[in-house]
Amino acid sequence: MAIVTLLSDSGESDHYVAAIKARILSTNPGLTLVDISHHIEPCNIAHGAYVLKSVFRDFPKGSVHLVAVHSTGEPNSPFVAIQLEDHFFVGIDNGLLGLISDKTSQNLVELNSITSISTTFPERDILAPAAAKLASGVSITSLGRPLEDYRKLVNRHVKATKRQILGHVIRVDRYGNLITNIQKSDFDTLSKDKVYTVQFGGEKFRRIHTAYHEAEQGDCFLLFNSAGLLEIGIYKGNASELLGLGYDSPVNVLFEE
């Protein structure tokens, strides 16, 4: 059964999410709808991209992902449908979709380009019908005019040498944990047979845990999470508040020869 996921900054106190689902199910009531999140911070492209990038590959290939974050966008930002890594995405070309993968798109079309409509609710009136059609087997190339490229923003990049990894916090989750862009694969390669020190906010640590509960309540833990990213937290506490760190705070790993 075809899957359509939904990611938005609409919250759940209004009718918006229900209206989007209603339009999808009106097109094909046999589709399976899965909510990724509707609590993306309003218009926060980085938050939406982080959540979508972290989970879309867990769904079966061929899944359709409706992305409605900052959907009013900027002037002249087109609505697009993208086939990428054998998944389909519909959303506005505001840079979010360009942050979820470094792979080249397999197909790219501009929605609302053949029979254009004007609407203040594009998530329902443009994105939802396109997602439903894709999930029902309609070819992406029939949904709009082909585009050559879509907007790609520049992520914060890790700087790595034999002596150090310079990273940043890319997300503070609802627990206050600090998720960085330092990847386990890079750390494993560079830390082999070396003593390391992780530095952030004036703190220094020389241990990386394998589970959250390895730290005592109120103590700081460092581990590589399920996404393979270095995460810093306070066990049963809020690391962002207690350490005074947030989005874009520097986190460095230093290696001793």
Cβ atoms of 44 and 9 within 8 Å: the answer is yes
Number of domains present in the structure of the chain: 2
Domain boundary among 146, 168, 199: 146
Strands 229-234 and 220-224: antiparallel
Q: Binning pLDDT at 50, 70 and 90, where does residue 1 land?
A: low
pLDDT tens digit sequence for 26-73: 999 999 999 999 999 999 999 999 999 999 999 999 999 999 999 887
What type of residue sits at position 230?
A: L
* Euclidean distance between CA atoms 70 and 133, whole angstroms: 23
Decide if pLDDT at 17 tops 80: yes
| Claim to verify: residue 168 and residue 142 sit in the same structural domain | no
| Claim to verify: residue 105 and residue 190 sit in the same structural domain | no
What type of residue sits at position 25?
A: L
* Euclidean distance between CA atoms 198 and 112, whole angstroms: 49
| Claim to verify: residue 85 and residue 200 sit in the same structural domain | no
Q: What percent of the chain has pLDDT over 90?
A: 91
Dihedral through CA 245, CA 253, CA 97, CA 149, nearest 10? 130
Tell whether the torsion through CA atoms of 37, 240, 235 and 205 is positive or negative. Answer: positive
Q: Binning pLDDT at 50, 70 and 90, where does residue 76 land?
A: confident
Give the domain CATH number at 201: 2.40.30.90
| Claim to verify: residue 239 and residue 167 sit in the same structural domain | yes
* Euclidean distance between CA atoms 50 and 41, whole angstroms: 12
For residue 250, give its domain range.
159-256
pLDDT tens digit sequence for 104-126: 999 999 999 988 899 999 999 99
List, in order, residues 6 or more apart from 45 with CB less than 8 Å away.
69, 70, 94, 95, 96, 99, 153
pLDDT tens digit sequence for 145-164: 999 999 988 777 899 999 99
Give the domain CATH number at 53: 3.40.50.10790
| Claim to verify: residue 232 and residue 168 sit in the same structural domain | yes
Domain boundary among 146, 174, 197: 146
Q: How far is CA 226 from CA 36, 38, 231, in A?
A: 17, 22, 10
| Claim to verify: residue 142 and residue 175 sit in the same structural domain | no
| Claim to verify: residue 84 and residue 165 sit in the same structural domain | no
Domain boundary among 101, 123, 146: 146
Query: What does the pLDDT average to over 196-219?
Result: 94
Residue 151 lies in a domain: no
Decide if pLDDT at 257 tops 80: no
